[in-house]
Amino acid sequence: MSEFPSENQENRTECGVVFMSAVAEASHLLRRVAEPRPIGDSVKQAIARAARRCGLSFTRTEDLWRQEARRVDAEEMDRIRRAANKHNAAQEAKARDELSELRDRLARLEARLLSTDEDFHRPDVDALGELVRRSGGMDRALDRKG
């Protein structure tokens, strides 16, 4: 075995935490900020979107994205982290809205089924109720993050 740790070993602690360099973290966050990426989206478009959302120049964002930068200034990292946090909050709010809309649609469907023939549609209504109960776990997961 080599006296030098492998790339994967040198960034891990005993408890399994992985440490990233600032450039690697910035690259990772920029890629998340660029999401969602539409079908047919080019890397150049994604970098431009991330640059715009973070308030950085395209060339600087591209260097960070491709992990070609030598360092990340504290101000740049703060901008990137703020943009990533803002993006995450927006994604969580969107997920909450979609879940609420889905629950409303399921409730309307259940009411419609019960209004036509309650005995005939009871298994379907019970299955819909199970879906709603399972989605309660989504609420708890979103609330923990929020």
Domain ranges for the chain, please list them.
Answer: 1-72, 91-146
pLDDT at 1: 44
Task: List, for the chain, all residue ranges whose pLDDT scores fall below the cut of 50.
Answer: 1-7, 9, 146
pLDDT at 21: 86
Cα–Cα distance, 29 to 35 (Å, whole number): 10
Cα–Cα distance, 109 to 90 (Å, whole number): 29
The whole-chain average pLDDT of the chain stands at 81
Contact between 124 and 116 under an 8 Å Cβ cutoff? The reply is no
Exposure of 124 in the CB half-sphere (CA atoms within 13 A): 15
pLDDT tens for 2-23 read: 444 444 545 555 566 666 788 9
Share of the chain above pLDDT 90, in %: 45
